[in-house]
Structure 1
């Protein structure tokens, strides 16, 4: 009797490799869809990271990055001796902390309130009105703020003057400027954040609300014991991301709202890098500041994720 020889048994790594390529071939259309996003991130996110070596070189645009001479950590020593850098760093942290403490809970509150609305047309209209400002450029918002809040000719102060009241220096005194900065940021971004929390609420089991209603729970109790715990993972992830951005700040918002009268509180890292790197053409210093900012942001992100995992068992990584 002739018996066929069995093929040699595949070792686990070989078996995994065969299944890997088999899965790739089976779903090649889905993997093909990843080509453009991957190319985008590689070309515009990872390749530019090679430019961080400018922070360690006496960069000369005519010589290029590779031909410029090395200076080691001299650029970092210089920025840590700049009073203007520490002022910009302080303002960045102060504005970001205020944004986090005051602005972060607003989308949660709005999402919970919208979720409780029973009139669907009003709910959709309110949601649309809330998130539309997200699509308005900060340049336009800056112009609107100037037209409405300027001390002498702003519409708000003209109205207050017509009532016999004094003008409010929304854009010309530090405390009022910070309030205006926070208010415009909340107005623009709160509605967009609300969408994320409303999407998270759709995953909450409706039977929990029905059971709570049978037990006689009020609407406030259902919000506190069902809705908020249901979106807790989303809240934690967004909070960690916001903490990770504590050392970073957008350029458009402080730049469009700032003016020389409030430079002591409006000068942040992004605007300072613009002035040093673009206006003064000190590319080495600007790159060193950007690298320092990125490293501090990474430390904040990892620390917030670690603390969140220890406390709430939720995190990003």
Structure 2
């Protein structure tokens, strides 16, 4: 005999917050318990208690297990042999007294750890319950990095694929993006004639600025100014022969990285303000150069439309190509 378990009794996808999910489950459990009590004075009312919230979290976790591991859970609940799938076969899983799948391990005999630490609850990272749990813990830990987030969650839970989920939660956190904002770096035009040369470090201006005779062949005693000029010319000859040829190789901007698209949400970098105070804006117009690469955009902010280079724009959550609004005809690169 096998039992059929209905795992669709609670719609996890309706919630965007773990706290709301847990409180909604607690109210549902309270309603069920109150309907079974005939004496109205004994029914629970008022704010939710800690015990009710913990019971809700345990029940929701059990429902997520039923949805994520239906075959394994059904066989374990009926004491049938289980052929574990990939990812679970390395874990010594079992059902506890609350009919929840827990992970056994080599620290089960340790006395310095709690029961939840020794036997964490098994979760699937693809389920909505696990995703909301990671988001909640990330905020509770003051936007912790992926390693700390995963280590903290493993004190009570064992999420399969938790490493990738922790990285995705941190990567898609708007607050973390704003604190660690990175500007765009479009590929540069190799025909730029205003390159930085050693002359800017030696005399503070381009070599073509001051006309001077060739002093490299002079062997006699020279005044101090001409001696310095001879040293500069000698350095320029060596540098032009040995280094100029190396400019053919790109040391950065080797590939065309992530490009900004129309209707993208961005942060406008301000040099005199901290990242959390940078203005939010949405890209309304792109300007394309002669090489087909966009490097300047018009951004609509709360105070109006401003024009900024990509190096001053930090992308937030980039829309997918299929979701991005059709961009208007791009304008030529402004001068």
Q: TM-score range by the shorter chain?
A: under 0.3
The structure showing larger relative contact order (alpha-carbon pairs under 8 Å, at least 6 residues apart) is 1
TM-score by length of 1: 0.26
Higher helix share: 1
TM-score by length of 2: 0.25
Higher strand share: 2
